[in-house]
Structure 1
Amino acid sequence: MSQARLSPGIVPGRLAPEDLALNFRDIAPPLTAHEAQVAADRCYFCHDAPCITACPTAIDIPLFIRQIATGTPDAAAMTIFHANILGGMCARVCPTENLCEGACVRMEAEGRPVEIGALQRHATDGLMARPGHPFRRGAPTGRRIAVVGAGPAGLSCAHRLAAKGHEVVIFEARDKPGGLNEYGIASYKTVDGFAQAEIEWLLGIGGITIETGKALGRDLTLEGLTADYDAVFLAIGLGATNALRTGDEGIGNVGDAVDFIAELRQAADLAGLAVGRDVVVIGGGMTAVDAAVQSKLLGAENVTMVYRRGQDRMTASRHEQDHASASGVRIIHNAAPVAIHGDGAVAEVEFCYTEDSPEGLVMTDQRFRLKADQLFRAIGQRLDEAPGSPALEGGKIAVTGPGRTSLDKVWAGGDCAAGGDDLTVTAVAQGRDAAEDIHLSLSP
C-alpha cells in the first residue's frame, strides 16, 4: 500500500476512530446461554442428519446440539473438536448457509435453519476459555514429522499427529502462523486476535514446534526434509495471484485483494490504513467480498465488485453477497475488464459485458467504464511454483486418498492440493485425514 499513499485520492483516516471501531466490531456476536438453549431446542436431532453429510469434517451436529440442549456445552465442544480441532474458527468463517445450515431440515421446512454455526461457537468458545488443553498426547513414538505451512491444514495435521505421540515441526514462511485464518479473512469475522489465540490453545497439547520465516524453496528443500524427517506434509497454500491479463496492470494503485486484507488484518491502527474514494474489486469469491466490504468500512465512498459471470456462478455465498450489498457495495455481473486507464495511476477501469454460451464465456462489444482510484484483483490464486517434484494436477499438487502425493513420505493438503474447494473447513479435514494416514504408515 506504500504506492497507494502517494495518490491524493487514497488517504488514511477517512473515518473517525470511533466509527472504525463500530464498523469492525464482531459481525456475529456470541450467543448468550439462554439464546443457545433456545436455538438448540429447534433441532430435530435427525437420526440420518443431512447436516453431518454437508459438513466437510463430518461433525456429529445433532449430538453436539443435544449436548448443549441438555446443559453440557463442554461435552458438545469435545464432540466438535474430535472432528475439527479448528472448530472455533470454522464456526466464525464457514459458509454454513451452503453447508450444514443449507442442508438443515428446518431450512427445508421453514426457510430458517438451526443456527448451527452460532451454536458451534458457543460450545467451542466456552471450552477454550477454560485452563489447560482438553486433549492428551499418546505415548511418544520417536517419530518426527515436518509440516510445511501453518495454515488450517497444517495446524490440523500437526495437532492430530501430536495427539498420537509424534513430534511435529511446522515450518511457516510468514512471520506469524495461521495462514488464511490470520492473513486472509475479514477482520470483523475474527475479532480480538482470535486466530492467534486459537493457535496458542491448539499448541497446548505439546509436541509441536513452529519455526516462522522458513519457506520451502528458499530456506528448505523437499529433499532435505524427507531425509531429516519420517514424513512430510505440505500445506503451503497458494502464493501467486492470477493476473487480469489486460496488459496494463503495472499502473499505480492496482493491487491484490489478498495483500490488502493481510495488511488490514495486521494493522495496529485502522485509522492509519489508506483507502481510495472510488474502489473497484474484480472477482466474485469470498476474497472479493471481504476486500470490497472492508474498503467500504474504512470509508471508501464508492465500492464496486465486478464479476465476469452471472450471480449464480459466484463462489461467494448468497449470504456474503447480501452482506456486501447491505454494506453499500455495488455488484455488477457479466462484465470483464479489458483495460485500465490513467496517467501513472489508475483513474478508470474499462469493462465489456459478457454472455455465457455453449462454447464458453463470450466477450461482447458493449463496454462501460468505472471511475477508480484503487483497483483490487481477486480472481483466484495459483501455486507459486512446484515445491519440489510431486506430480501436479490442474496447477496444484496431485493427491490420492488422504493426501498422498507421487513422492514417498510426502503428503499434501489444503489449498495447494488438487481436488479441494478452498475452504478453511475442507483444509482442516484434509490435514486431519492426512495425519491419520501418516500415522498408519509409520505404525509397525
Structure 2
Amino acid sequence: MTQFSNTSPIFQREEVLREEHHPDDLPERTDEMEDLHMSLAPAARGVGANNVFLHGKAGQGKTAAAKAKLSELQEHAEHESDHLDLTTAYVSCESHDLSTSYKAASRIYQELTGNSRPTGYATDVVMDMMFEAMNDIGGTIIIVLDEIDTLGDDDRILYSLPRARAQDYVEDHVFPSIIGISNDLQWRDNLSPKVKSSLYDDSVLFSPYNATQLQQILRRRAAKAFRDTELIPVEELDTDAKQRGSIVEIDQSGQEYLFRSDVLTDDVIPLIAALSAQDTGDARQAIKYLRKAGELADKHGDDVVSADHAREAQALVEREAVVEAMREMTTQAHLALAALTALELSGDAPVRAKPIYGVYKSIASKIDADKLGQRRFKDHLRELDMQGIADGEKVTAGSIGGPAWEYQLQVDTEIAVEVLKDTARFADIDFQRISSDRPNP
C-alpha cells in the first residue's frame, strides 16, 4: 500500500486554486472588461480589432480578462456572425524567452501554423514567414503577447505588426492586431515614439484589488475548491438556515449569499484577503495562500483550515518567492549575497558596506569573477534590500559626512547558503571560513 490517495478530506476541486485556472467571469473587473470589449468590438463589425495594452501589477486579472473576452468573441464568430473569420493566438513572451523580434515572430509563426519554430534564418525572413502565414489564414487575427515587456528594446515586431496592413505586409483580407499585456507600468513609456503611436490604439489599467474584492474572489473559488463549502443565494434560504453561515456578497450585483463551510474557519478568507491587500492587491497571491493553507491542513491531518494555517502559508509562499528571486540573480548580486552571508555566519552582522565589500572582493577572487568598484557594489546591496533578502538601515554619518548603512540578512543563512551552493561557481566556497580570511578593503 502506498501513502497516496485519490481523495482529500479538505479539497473537492483544488485545481480551481491553481494559477492555470482562468474563470470565465470577472465581476471585479466589469469596467476593465467593458473597455477591452470596446477595443475588440470593431472585429465583430468586420474592420479588425483595435490594438490594446493591458497593464497593471501581477495578479490583477489581465490575462484572465483577455482570454475570457477573446473566448466570448470566438463564440460570437462561430455561432452568431456570418462574416467574422477569427483566429487568436496566445504567446507568453516570458515563458518562451522571447527577448527579440526574431524569437517573437518565430513563435507567432509556430502558433499560427502548428509548424516547428523556424531557426537559422534572418529576422526579415522569419517576419515574412509570419506574415505569409497570416495571409494563408486570412480574416481577423488577434495576437496576445503576454509579458510583452520581455521584448525590451527590440521593438521591431511591435512596429511592424500594427502597421502590417498599411505597409502591405499582409493582404487586404487580413486584419491583424495585438493585445499586449505587461506588469511593468513604465515599459510602454520607454518605447520609441514611432512604436508608441502605432502599437496601441487603446490602453486599460488594472488597479490592485482591495480587501473586499479579494474576499469575493476567494469565496467564489473556495465554494468550488473545498469540501462541504457552498454559496447559496439568501432568497433561497429560510430563517433558520441563515443562522448557519455568513451572509456575504460575491460580486458587484448586490445579491447576497450564505457562505457556509465545514472545513474553513470564518476568519481564514478575511485574513488572507487582508494580508494580500496590504501587500500587493494580487489575487493570484491570495489564491495561492488559500491553496497552501489547505495543503498544510491536509498535511498535518487537521479537519479544518484555520488562521494559523493561513499565516503559515503566507510565510511559506513568501519564502518560496525570495528563494526564487535569489536563484535568478546575476553573478554580481550573488557575490554581494555571498559576502553578506559569510559575515552573518561569523556573527559580524549587521555590518557596514565597507567590510562587506572586502569579503566580496575575496570571494570574487576565489571564483575568478570581475570585481566592481565600491560604489557599484553598493547598488547590489540596495537591490538585496529592495527584494527583502537583506535589510539595510541608515546609521550615523559616514567618514566623509554622508549617510552610512548597515546590512544584515532577512532570510535564514541556511537558505542563502543552499541557494548559493546550487550555483556552480559558488559550489566549493566555504562560507564559514571566508570572513576570517578576508583581506583589508
The two structures share one fold, judged by TM-score above 0.5: no
Structure with more helix by fraction: 2
Q: TM-score, normalised by structure 1?
A: 0.25
Larger radius of gyration: 2
Q: TM-score, normalised by structure 2?
A: 0.25
Structure with more strand by fraction: 1
